[in-house]
């Protein structure tokens, strides 16, 4: 007997209404999810993966419509069902675990009520019984004190806990299909690792099928059995996970996998990139949608849409040239941009930036707290940080959210005023307060922000934005012609053509906006550029372009970087020196090679272990951090990491601040465990 697939989408087309015009978002997608299967759906932003995932639940945004095709749920076409029929399927047979855990919970009701509501509705449980079931569900998602959490409101929980609540809610009726839409994207990497472990075992326990949607090829590799690759609303490839990663057949899959930075030091290599940007919905290419960016496209690819062909059992690919790729006669190599000429290294130990004992705390002493002797109203975001950036090098600052890394960066560029400590730029002390800094210091110290969409003035053209910076920070009088020439220079440096000067930010893609932001930072030849998560808002293929660009600019302009990131893989590609930050303090520093291999601080070890490798054969490390970063208002005594440390040795960790231990050639670890013991512990770890 043939088992019916849980979901079978046939030639599904979905349109969106944009500016009173219907544009096509999903174009003829067919997809099958079998029972007990965890199916991965991977694609970049704008590929339509969330639209498709929700459409498989027959949930559409108000401005979307299903144009044609069918969605079969155990053989029944969902598109023919009425809303009231769907209401018996939603929540009972299919559930969603959403991307944004907090916003997806109603802020006005308790956690317990929001879970209990489902079983009251679908199983007719009484209020107390449903309540009891909610508590049991919270226990199943390994929430420590389920009774207490059931009485809490969503905003009182951390992101990881909120996502546990969402999954508890989704699983409380044992649905046949679980749709997980980027469920860990909003979480820190350490929390993500814990939640992924939990999802894996819960999906198995639930004995249903799951659709796992993500842009993260690492997460997909670790979670799924089969994977569908979506690009511009079309299926490019579908394959069992091992084959997709080991032996990709589609040029898009190949390029995408190549462009992921891996957490292995590799300073000389450059990341392969995918040139161009995904086509906009309104102007879908006639032929293969990937042809304009494909390194091996033929004329045929532009003229004629390739069919989705079966290449082997359970493998589909949509490419005219898959046979050549499969038998190895057509190597798909993504274009390498030539690296720019290198500046000679500076002799000795010259430093661009020295930070000494920098501290920043938030919160004011109110009269009340002073009388009550209440110290807890302070949030110590940065606590006595000392670090250096060597000339023409990159310092990578890593840590979870709440570690104080962004505050530290903002203190250095002056967006926040440090309470204590000294900042030396090019060996000259600069005031902590931005208003007291001279124009010359501003010139030498520039910043690139995380979200390029918010950093450019929407009413200024790219040219105006750059001109303004050049004029503000110029060292000598400049004629308008010279300024124009400089604008074009800067655009060329970030690989944008001169006509970009006349465009407004709204006309640029995310990657292009970030390039403009980088060009602006370099407008006055700064000595140090501080970049706060410069690629985390961007897609993988665009991230590779920006990472390469940052590397080239450093070589070309002779600048140094302080790069902040939670992504240890991306930062390994850029940085020569890494500082790991936890609760306002640096806990380890060393060269990238040193930090990424044993011995490491137990916190660094956990961060590295949490990275989901974009390869299903490499299992994630098994060092997990339970719990969240403690609030900076209540910093634990002794070693700040002792509350979560998997390698805690005893009472000393709770009572005494750990010493700095030297691990050779400047590599330092702040831990009670001696270096030799760390090496033994970490090398014996499975």
Partner 1 sequence: MLRYIIRRILLLIVTMFITSAIIFALTQLVPGDVARLILGREASPEALEQFRAEFGLNDPAPVQYANWLMKFVTGDWGRSFTGTQGPVRPLVTDRISNSLRLTLMTLVIAIPASVLLGIAAALRENTWVDSAISLLSLSVVGLPEFVTGLVLINGIALGARALGLPATSTVPDNTLADWIRQLILPAITATFVLIGYVSRLTRAGVLDELKKPYVRTAILKGLPRRQVIFKHVLRNALLPTITVIAISFGWLIGGLVVIENVYNYPGLGALMVEAVKQKNLFVLQAVVMVTIFFFALANLTADVLYAVLNPRIRLE
**Binding-site ranges for partner 1 (CB under 8 A):** 57, 59, 83, 86-92, 94-96, 98-100, 103-109, 117-118, 121-122, 153, 155-156, 166, 169
Nearer to partner 1, 59 or 343 (CB): 59
With both helix axes pointing from N to C terminus, report the angle between 540-557 and 251-258 in degrees, rounded to the nearest 10.
50
**Distances in whole angstroms, Cα of residue 282 to Cα of each of 151, 252, 390:** 48, 21, 48
- Alpha carbons 239 and 26: distance in angstroms, whole number: 20
Q: Least distance to partner 1 from the beta carbon of 218, Å?
A: 25
Buried b (16+ CB within 10 A) or exposed e, 367-395: eeeeeeeeeeebbbbbbebebbbbbbbbb
d(Cα 223, Cα 233) in Å, to the nearest integer?
A: 23
Q: How far is the CB of 47 from partner 1 (least distance, A)?
A: 20
DSSP reduced 3-state for 464: helix
Beta bridge partners of 180: 97, 212
Residue closer to partner 1 by CB (options 95, 514) is: 95
Nearer to partner 1, 109 or 660 (CB): 109
The two tokens of residue 319 are: 């490419």
- Closest to partner 1 by CB, 100 vs 419, is 100
Distance from C-alpha of 48 to C-alpha of 67, rounded to nearest angstrom = 15
CB of 90 to partner 1, least distance (A): 4
Instruction: Tokens for 263, please give them.
Output: 């957490």
End-to-end CA distance of the chain: 43
Q: Which residues contact 464 (CB under 8 A, 6 or more apart)?
A: none
Q: Rounded to the nearest 5 degrees, what angle is found at the Cα of 131, between the Cα atoms of 130 and 133?
A: 65
- Residue from 644, 664, 663 nearest 653 by CA: 644
Nearer to partner 1, 104 or 464 (CB): 104
Nearer to partner 1 by Cβ, of 174 and 300: the residue is: 174
CB of 443 to partner 1, least distance (A): 43
- What is the closest distance, in whole angstroms, from the C-beta atom of residue 100 to partner 1 in the complex? 6
Q: How far is the CB of 152 from partner 1 (least distance, A)?
A: 8
118-124 contacts at long range (C-beta below 8 A, 24 or more positions apart): 118/91, 118/169, 118/172, 118/173, 119/172, 119/173, 121/91, 122/91, 122/92, 122/173, 123/173
Cβ of residue 414: shortest distance to partner 1, in angstroms?
31
The CB-of-406 to partner 1 minimum distance in angstroms stands at 24
Name the residue nearer to partner 1 (CB basis): 154 or 616.
154
Least distance in Å: CB of 167 to partner 1? Answer: 12
Residue nearer to partner 1 on the CB measure, 151 or 624: 151
Q: Which residue has the tokens 């060009």?
A: 519
Rounded Cα gap, residues 303 and 285, in angstroms: 9
Confirm if 599 and 678 have CB atoms less than 8 A apart. Answer: yes
Torsion of CA 509, 512, 513, 514, to 10 degrees: 130
Please state the closest distance from residue 113 (CB atom) to partner 1, in A: 10
Give the tokens for residue 289. Answer: 């949608």
- Measured from the CB atom, the residue of 50 and 407 that comes closer to partner 1 is 50
Nearer to partner 1, 85 or 333 (CB): 85
CA separation for the pair 330, 325 (Å, rounded): 5
How far CA 156 is from CA of 117, 376, 396, 672, in Å, comes to 20, 18, 32, 33
d(CA 44, CA 511): 13
Identity of the residue, 90 or 252, whose beta carbon is nearer to partner 1 in the bound complex? 90
- Rounded Cα distance between 240 and 317, Å, is 12
Shortest reach from residue 31's CB to partner 1, in Å: 19
**Cβ distance to partner 1 smaller for residue 203 or 516:** 203
Shortest distance (Å) from residue 121 CB to partner 1: 6
Distance of CA 57 to the CA centre of its chain: 26
């Amino acid at each position: 007997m043939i088992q019916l697939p849980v979901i079978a989408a046939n030639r599904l087309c979905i349109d969106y209404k944009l500016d009173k015009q219907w544009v096509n978002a999903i174009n003829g997608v067919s997809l099958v999810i079998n029972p007990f299967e965890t199916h991965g759906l991977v694609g970049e932003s704008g590929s339509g993966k969330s639209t498709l995932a929700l459409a498989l639940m027959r949930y559409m945004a108000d401005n979307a419509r299903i144009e044609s095709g069918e969605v079969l749920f155990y053989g029944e076409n969902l598109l023919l069902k009425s809303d009231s029929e769907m209401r018996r399927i939603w929540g009972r047979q299919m559930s969603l675990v959403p991307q944004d855990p907090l916003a997806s919970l109603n802020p006005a009701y308790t956690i317990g009520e929001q879970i209990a509501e489902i079983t009251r509705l679908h199983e007719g449980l009484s209020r107390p019984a449903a309540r009891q079931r909610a508590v049991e569900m919270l226990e199943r998602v390994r929430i420590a004190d389920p009774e207490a959490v059931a009485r809490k409101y969503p905003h009182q929980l951390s992101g990881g806990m909120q996502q546990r609540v969402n999954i508890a809610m989704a699983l409380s009726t044992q649905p046949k299909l679980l749709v997980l839409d980027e469920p860990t994207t909003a979480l820190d990497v350490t929390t993500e690792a814990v939640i992924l472990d939990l999802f894996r075992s819960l999906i198995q326990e639930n004995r249903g099928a799951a659709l796992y949607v993500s842009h993260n090829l690492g997460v997909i590799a670790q979670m799924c059995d089969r994977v569908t690759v979506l690009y511009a609303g079309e299926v490019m490839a579908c394959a069992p996970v091992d084959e997709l990663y080991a032996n990709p057949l589609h040029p898009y899959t190949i390029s995408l996998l190549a462009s992921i930075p891996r957490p292995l030091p590799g300073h000389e290599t450059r990341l392969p990139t995918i040139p161009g940007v995904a086509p906009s919905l309104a102007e879908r290419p006639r032929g293969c949608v990937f042809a304009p960016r494909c390194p091996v496209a033929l004329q045929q690819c532009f003229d004629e849409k390739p069919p989705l062909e079966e290449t082997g059992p359970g493998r589909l690919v949509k490419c005219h040239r898959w046979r050549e790729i499969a038998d190895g006669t057509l190597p798909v190599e993504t274009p390498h941009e030539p690296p720019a000429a290198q500046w000679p290294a500076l002799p000795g130990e010259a430093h661009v930036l020295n930070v000494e004992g920098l501290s920043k705390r938030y919160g004011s002493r109110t009269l009340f707290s002073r009388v009550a002797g209440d110290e807890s109203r302070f949030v110590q975001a940065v606590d006595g940080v000392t670090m250096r950036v060597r000339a023409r090098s990159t310092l990578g600052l890593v840590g979870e959210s709440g570690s104080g890394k962004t505050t530290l960066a903002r203190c250095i560029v002056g967006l926040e005023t440090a309470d204590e400590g000294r900042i030396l730029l090019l060996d000259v002390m600069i005031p902590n307060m931005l208003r007291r800094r001279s124009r010359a210091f501003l010139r030498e110290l520039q910043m690139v922000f995380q979200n390029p969409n918010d950093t450019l003035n929407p009413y200024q053209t790219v040219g105006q934005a750059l001109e303004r910076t050049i004029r503000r920070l110029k060292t000598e009088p400049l004629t308008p012609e010279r300024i124009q020439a400089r604008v074009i220079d800067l655009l060329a440096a970030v690989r944008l053509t001169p006509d970009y000067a006349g465009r407004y930010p709204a006309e640029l893609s995310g990657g292009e906006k970030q390039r403009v932001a980088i060009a602006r930072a370099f407008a006055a030849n700064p000595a140090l550029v501080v970049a706060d998560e410069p690629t985390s808002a961007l897609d993988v293929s665009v991230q590779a372009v920006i990472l390469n660009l940052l590397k080239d600019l450093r070589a070309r302009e002779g600048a140094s970087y302080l790069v902040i990131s939670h992504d240890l893989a991306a930062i390994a590609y850029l940085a020569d020196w890494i500082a790991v930050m936890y609760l306002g303090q640096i806990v380890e520093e060393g060269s990238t090679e040193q930090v990424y291999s044993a011995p490491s601080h137990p916190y660094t070890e956990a961060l590295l272990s949490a990275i989901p490798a974009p390869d299903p054969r490499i299992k994630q490390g098994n060092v997990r951090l339970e719990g969240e970063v403690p609030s900076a208002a209540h910093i634990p005594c002794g070693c700040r990491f002792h509350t979560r440390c998997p390698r805690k040795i005893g009472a000393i960790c709770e009572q005494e601040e750990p010493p700095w231990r030297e691990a050779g050639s400047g590599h330092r670890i702040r831990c009670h465990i001696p270096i030799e013991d760390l090496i033994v512990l970490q090398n014996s770890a499975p």
